[in-house]
A and B are shown apart, each in its own frame.
Chain A
Amino acid sequence: MIFVSVGTQLAFDRMIKAVDQWAGKRGRKDVFAQVGPTEYSARHIEAVPFISPKDCMTKMRAADVIVAHAGMGSIIGALELGKPILIMPRRADLGEHRNDHQLATARRFAELGKVAVAMDEHELMQRLDSLGDLGIGDRISPFASPRLTAAVRAFIHGQPIPAQRESVRVESVNA
Chain B
Amino acid sequence: MVSKGKRPRVLAVASSGGHWVQLRRLRQAFEDCDLAYLTTDPGYRHDVGAARFYTTKDANRWNKVALAMSALKIAWVVLKERPDVVVTTGAAPGYFALRFAKLIGARTMWVDSIANVEELSMSGRMASKHVDACLTQWPHLANANIQHEGAVL
Contact = CB atoms under 8 A, between A and B. Distances in A.
Interface of A: 7-9, 52-54, 71-77, 79, 98, 101-102, 104-105, 107-108, 140, 142-153, 155-158, 161, 164, 166-167, 169-170, 173-174
A139 B112 CA distance: 24
Majority secondary structure, B binding face: loop
B2 interface: yes
A156 B30 contact: yes
B15 to A, nearest CB: 8
Interface string B140-153: 00000001011111
Contacts of B16: 8, 53, 73
Majority secondary structure, A binding face: helix
Given A148-B152, A173-B153, A76 B21 contact: yes
Interface of B: 1-2, 8, 10, 16-22, 25-31, 33, 41, 43-44, 46-47, 58, 60, 62, 84-85, 87, 107, 109, 111, 113-118, 121, 132-133, 135, 137-139, 147, 149-153
A101 B113 CA distance: 11
A143 B87 contact: no
Contact of A72 (B29, B43, B109, B113): B113
Contact of B2 (A148, A152, A157): A157
A174 B151 contact: yes
A101 B116 contact: yes
A144 B152 contact: yes
Contacts of B44: 53
